[in-house]
Amino acid sequence: MPEKDIAGKTLEAYNDVFADIVNVLLFQGRHLIKEDELEEESPHSSYKADGRLHAQERDVAKHWKKGLVRIALYGLENQTGIDSDMPLRLFSYDGAAYRAQLLADKEMQGKTGSKAPRYPVVTLVLYFGYDRHWKTPRTLFECLELPEEIQPYVNDYRMNLYEIAYLSDEQVGMFSSDFKIVADYFVQMRKNKNYVASEVTIKHVHELLQLMAVMTQDNRFENIYSPDMERKAMTMCEVLDRVENRGVQKGIIQGENTILSLMNYLLSNNRTEDAKKVTEDQAYRNKLLMEVFGNKQ
């Protein structure tokens, strides 16, 4: 769903979250990449087909720099569903990034006469599905109908796929940013079809609640947000308490509205005795609710 992609991008765009994801998934929790070493890169690129330029967009992309030297370009792609053409898409993204380096190199040579250093491009695919493994192609070869005779002359491309719901408890424990809550949620949903919140403090409250709202399809996560939640040490336990309280309050209001609607209906139809009885007899009240509203309530 597009909403999930947007919510994921918003949270992952923070340097602490981005660095945390790469450090855990690529470097087994070693803090090789620091927050202040990341620099925004435009996620937009283009390719030419049918004589026209077509736009393409990564989810999140950042340069890893040491001083003025770019070491690598990292990209994150979020997938809530399985895309059998994903290796082809990534091949296009990475190719566009290398092409951009060539163009920048030509520009630098024209200005200074020196050649710009080249750096690698690394893309991670974060798959959030918890009801099944990713069983479709992970390499370019698997996407192609490739005759055996020409296979030695075709370059393969392998995507770096990480199934978040299938991470180990040890891997989840390595995260130190808000992504730890996200990963823990998906792992628990895969294992237990239920989520029990931890006492981990949330740093980016609004962005995390937006993501939780679209992941769970429960708008209460977003509706309970208020700026005061950013000014205190908020945990998911407290968030769920607010969510539950909002649900209870909503249920009370709905119940009151239903009774008022029933009373209005009875009085409008001159059924004053029935109106009096529903205030005293619960069984009779339930009977009239079914009579008047049927399965609508």
Nearest of 25, 234, 201 to residue 124 by alpha carbon: 25
CA 205/CA 236 separation, integer angstroms: 10
Label residue 84 by pLDDT band (50, 70, 90): very high
pLDDT at 48 over 60: no
Question: Does the pLDDT value for residue 280 go beyond 80?
Answer: no
Q: Are residues 157 and 258 in the same domain?
A: no
Residue 5 predicted with pLDDT over 60:
no
* Count of the separate structural domains present in the chain: 2
Do residue 167 and residue 33 come from a single domain? Answer: yes
Q: pLDDT digits over 158-178, tens only?
A: 999 999 999 999 999 999 999
Q: For residue 268, count CB atoms less than 10 angstroms from its CB and return exposed for 0-12, middle for 13-18, buried for 19 or more.
A: exposed
Answer whether residue 49 shows pLDDT above 60: no
Final residue of a structural domain among 175, 203, 231: 203
pLDDT for 1 equals 47
Give residue 256's domain range: 251-296
Which structure tokens are listed for 230? 């950013």
pTM of the predicted model, to two decimals?
0.76
Exposed, middle or buried by CB within 10 Å (0-12, 13-18, 19+), for 176?
middle
Q: Do 194 and 269 lie in a common domain? A: no
| Residue 100 domain flag | yes
CA–CA distance, 6 with 279 (Å, rounded to integer)? 49
pLDDT digits (tens, 9 = 90+) for 245-268: 644 444 444 556 677 777 788 788
Q: What is the mean pLDDT of residues 202-230?
A: 84
Give me the pLDDT at residue 136, please. Answer: 95
Same domain for 81 and 12: yes
Cα 275 from Cα 98, distance rounded (Å) = 76
Residues 270 and 191 in one domain: no
Confidence of residue 36 (pLDDT cuts 50, 70, 90): very high
Are residue 16 and residue 82 in the same domain, yes or no?
yes
Per the CB < 8 A criterion, the answer to whether 209 and 225 are in contact is: yes
- Residue 243's pLDDT band (boundaries 50, 70, 90)? confident
195, 59: one domain: yes
Is 213 among the domain residues?
A: no
Q: Minimum mean pLDDT among 2-16, 128-142, 147-161: which range?
A: 2-16
- CA–CA dist 101, 124 (Å, integer): 20
Say what the pLDDT of residue 250 is: 46
Specify the pLDDT at position 127: 94
> Is 77 in the same domain as 190?
yes
Asked if residue 239 is part of any domain, the answer here is no
Q: What local confidence, expressed as pLDDT, does residue 294 receive?
A: 65
Contact 70, 64 (CB under 8 A): yes
Q: Of 187, 203, 219, which residue constitutes the final position of a domain?
A: 203
Is 187 a domain residue?
A: yes
